[in-house]
Chains A and B, each alone.
Chain A
Amino acid sequence: MANEVKNVNTLTTASQIKNINTLTDAQNKKISTLELTGTVDPSTIVGYTAVEQSGSATTDAQYGVNMTYDEDNNFVYVQYALEGGGGGAVLGAYNSGTTSVDFGAEQTVESSNAFSGNSCDYDKYNNRVWSAWIGGGDNTIYARCGRINANKTISWGTTLTIQGGANTVSGKYNQGLLHQGVAVDQSTGKCLVVWNSAADNISGGSNHHPTGVILTIDDPSAGDTDSDFCDISASDPIRMAVGGSGQSFPAIKCHYDPDNTEWVAVTDANGSSTGIYALRITDSSGDPLAANQTALGSNTSHFLQGDGSSDHNASKGAAGGRYGGHWMVYDTNVNRFIVASATADGSTTPKHFAFENTGSGITWDTGGQAISHGDGISGSGKGGTMAFSHARGRFISHGNTGSADNLEIFSYDGTDFESHNDSSLITIVSDSNGFYRGGASMQDMSAFAGGAIMVVGTDYDSRDPKYIIIETGG
């Protein structure tokens, strides 16, 4: 809802009142029953649209699409698995005249094999983009760093092998990089990658402990024509959490915490138990160091991807469970992380939960906010994502009802959640599998489209990447 309060006493809310007591306008939601904070209504700026390459809809995105935002060029960066093998990316600028994104030519990130679990983040410290994926002939974890150029091209450095798959670790064919496995420390330009490493096995061919490495650019000053341009190196791989009988097929996803200049991850690995856990990850002399792994309490029916009785068996998810994109956003308005749950009992409605990283510990708010949008989960086209609007201090998630993919807008004030459109959900597409396994920018993209945010997803039937641009209101 738009702002309904025009004046307080004789002062206008638009220009003369910045705070009431110590609360900013974003924290004061209403005066009496009148909406105060909203100055822009929620709306769909760009509806369900194909990602393009040089003006033509791309036919790629075999199994997942992801994105980040380059504030230096005011471009979105969208990456996806290419039809016929390999991975590619396009850069796009918002065109307010046509209310669409003008994409450049498709750049290959990887020429062959899979490009699954693909994760990415923009590095404002070095003005580079980082990408990681599962590929090669044996499910190897790769990473690459590149510089985005003003003409919508990318100058890539050499691809780094983080961890070889089955050809390196015999019989260990599965490594879980899960669409939010990359986050850049914006104060140093170092990049954390988290995944399930084949080199740190729990049991069998596919069950591995969550692991992390920190990547660095060897010589940030190297130019395009230098042989070491954008070459990167990895720290030692370090176990971030302990999988086991509680969840033998664990998951881990990460995000940067700008207030504490360190990383935070969520995982469901905790030895003989499972649930939703958050942990701090710091840079310890170049290696990642996990600390303060802390469980969400009082919510025994909520998990990240399943209850542990049968791997990733959740049937409902606030952001798609195992088949979703981003599970976590950082709300810079209140300095809290918000994480999406998944439930496995067939009846419990998934929720969003908030936690705070104090820099020395994790504190959960166990209240949570149940979602009203679709909660379908499946490997054949159902699984949403989360995104945060830095411009409005609101976040979104979306999911499938079985016949439509709907988007819901939320905010959190540090104590309470609010859904801003649970009775008027935004329908992304009326399709049972039209917008899954996607992502959104973890970087502030306020300048891109007047404060609106872009979200990407995959149409399962065509395997094509799609995008929307949403004004969350606020």
Chain B
Amino acid sequence: MVCHLRKSLYGLKQSPRVWFEKFSNVVQQFGITRCEADHSVFYQHLSVGCVYLIVYVDDIVLTGSNNHDISQLKQHLCHHFQTKDLGKLRYFSGIEVASPMMVLLYLRESIPWIFWRKLGLMSSKSVDTPMDPNTKLLPNQGGLYLILSSIKDWLGN
């Protein structure tokens, strides 16, 4: 028996493209714009706030200035696709997010120098991102990078 396919299946060379096309259309129905520089990034700037989305195949990360807009976008996506809400971002595309502070550590190069001066880390060495996947981090090895309270103070500024 020969079947005429209406929808895509795993293993077809068309699958990734038609998935992205479908996703892109659904997201844009929400009123969000696709970034010209990188088509996997979507954004919505409104006077009351903004929402950002980045997609990597089936993984989606959302952020924005207010939780209400983010949940509405989430609901929109759940309505169109079978989705699983993974809660707070933990791991995406090779970057593990242990906490916002860990992100700051990984991404030293992207952080304003004033922050590093404040924490007295101007002489610290930078590392490539994402981290070497084979690095084993052990609880009793090496010193503490930063004093937690000083970061908390800075984030509170």
Partners in one complex: no
> A: which residues have CB within 8 A of B?
none
> B: which residues have CB within 8 A of A?
none
